Amino acid sequence: MEDKKLRLFSAVQPSGIPTIANYIGAIKNWVTLQDEYECIYSIADLHTLTVKQVPAELRQRTLELLALYLACGVDPEKSVMFVQSHVPQHAELTWILNTMTYPGELSRMTQYKDKSKKHAENVNMGLMDYPVLMAADILLYNAAVVPVGKDQKQHLEIARDLAVRFNNRYSPTFTVPEGFIPKMGANIMSLQDPEHKMSKSDANENAFISMNDDRDTIIRKFKRAVTDSENLIAFDENRKGISNLLTIYCVFSGKTAGQAEAEFKGVGYGDFKLAVGETVANTICPIAERKKQYLADRDYLDKIIIEGKEKASYMAQKMLAKVYKKVGLYTPERKK
């Protein structure tokens, strides 16, 4: 008898065009993980609302993100793909978990502090409650595994704490999820300021590589990437710029750190940055072309969204019904 696959949950916000950091940290891994796990992949549109959005743009980016998932190789026959807001159980479970979450836990979140500074004119409760909604996303599907970047580890810890807290208060209900952090590429840094992570909202367009960038743009941005004056291509935690470029090269070329260092021994920074840019473009540009093809078939995208909603809703409702019963909410039984 074949062992049942563990369930895995992951999501990306349609808050802008994803960067190669989003691709490396999440979507790239999804393609290989879908053969090993029972995978549920969401488009986390509710999470985007913590920052003001242009409604028409948010709707379009939702479709574009689904098309990107498909273009990268996520298979709707192997994985469930759905839009978060189409499954209202996410918001319903968030309320239950909110009654068990302490304000101090949320106010200590690093991302809450950072975003509060960045969006001082719009510090809302959704921004603070983001980790609880994220916990609901995960726990609703009894996910055992959650791919996370280093900046999301705090949020995963809250999800784990809430799962344990609920299980102890009522009875075993939720799976306590474990984080999956890729061996290389968990943190891709800005090309212009390698002390900070790459972000699609960076005001400096040379700081990130968008999944929509064309070949010339990709190569130009890498040519302008910040390095140092040593002209030595080797991993060194004190030389963040060159180490970041080497990490990106390794991820896209499939080479190990040692192989990359050997390949570029004695090579100048200019030739190295050109090689990184070309290697990244060789992967990103074909993905962008496939994405355009999927976007041209709106009926197909809608079909996947509807089917994904049905599958996710079925799983989510089973869990929510169990939670409602355990916390004491009354539901009349349907008579035969």
Provide the edge-to-edge strand list for the sheet that holds 178-180.
80-83, 38-43, 7-12, 145-147, 178-180
Say whether pLDDT at 185 is over 70. no
Task: Tell me what pLDDT residue 231 has.
Answer: 84
Task: Tell me what pLDDT residue 55 has.
Answer: 96
* Residue of 253, 256, 262 whose CA lies nearest to 234: 262
Assign 25 a pLDDT band (cuts: 50, 70, 90): confident
The topology under which CATH files domain 205-293 is Tyrosyl-Transfer RNA Synthetase (1.10.240)
**Cα angle 15, 22, 83; round to 5:** 50
The tokens for 132 are 């609880």
Q: What pLDDT digit, counting tens, does each position of 194-203 carry?
A: 999 898 888 8
Q: Tell me the pLDDT of the chain averaged across its residues.
A: 91
Task: Tell me what pLDDT residue 151 has.
Answer: 65
Say whether pLDDT at 36 is over 50. yes
For residues 41 and 29, the model is more confident at 41
Range scoring the smallest mean pLDDT among 67-71, 99-103, 117-121, 211-215 = 117-121
From CA 97, how far away is CA 159, in angstroms rounded? Answer: 10
Assign 336 a pLDDT band (cuts: 50, 70, 90): low
Q: Is 179 exposed, middle or buried (0-12, 13-18, 19+ CB in 10 A)?
A: middle
From CA 188, how far away is CA 197, in angstroms rounded? Answer: 6
Q: Which of 4, 117, 150, 200 is catalytic?
A: 200
Q: Which of 197, 273, 291, 309 is catalytic?
A: 197
Q: Which of 4, 52, 113, 115 is catalytic?
A: 115
Backbone angles phi, psi at 12, to 5 degrees: -130, 140
Task: Tell me what pLDDT residue 126 has.
Answer: 86
From CA 301, how far away is CA 307, in angstroms rounded? Answer: 10
Give the number of residues written for the chain. 336
The dotted CATH code for 7-181+298-327 is 3.40.50.620
Task: Tell me what pLDDT residue 29 has.
Answer: 87
Q: Is 221 a catalytic residue?
A: no
Domain ranges of the chain: 7-181+298-327, 205-293
What share of the chain in percent tops pLDDT 70?
A: 96
Range scoring the smallest mean pLDDT among 64-68, 104-108, 179-183, 224-228 = 179-183
For residues 52 and 80, the model is more confident at 80
Mean pLDDT value across residues 305-317: 98
From CA 199, how far away is CA 328, in angstroms rounded? Answer: 43
Identity of residue 109: M
From CA 157, how far away is CA 152, in angstroms rounded? Answer: 9
* Residue of 183, 172, 185, 137 whose CA lies nearest to 158: 137
Task: Tell me what pLDDT residue 1 has.
Answer: 40
From CA 96, how far away is CA 324, in angstroms rounded? Answer: 9
Task: Tell me what pLDDT residue 326 has.
Answer: 97
Mean pLDDT value across residues 143-160: 84
Say what the pTM is: 0.90
Region at 142 (left for phi over 0; alpha for psi -120 to 50; beta for the rest): left
Say whether pLDDT at 155 is over 50. yes
C-beta atoms surrounding 68 within 10 Å? 27
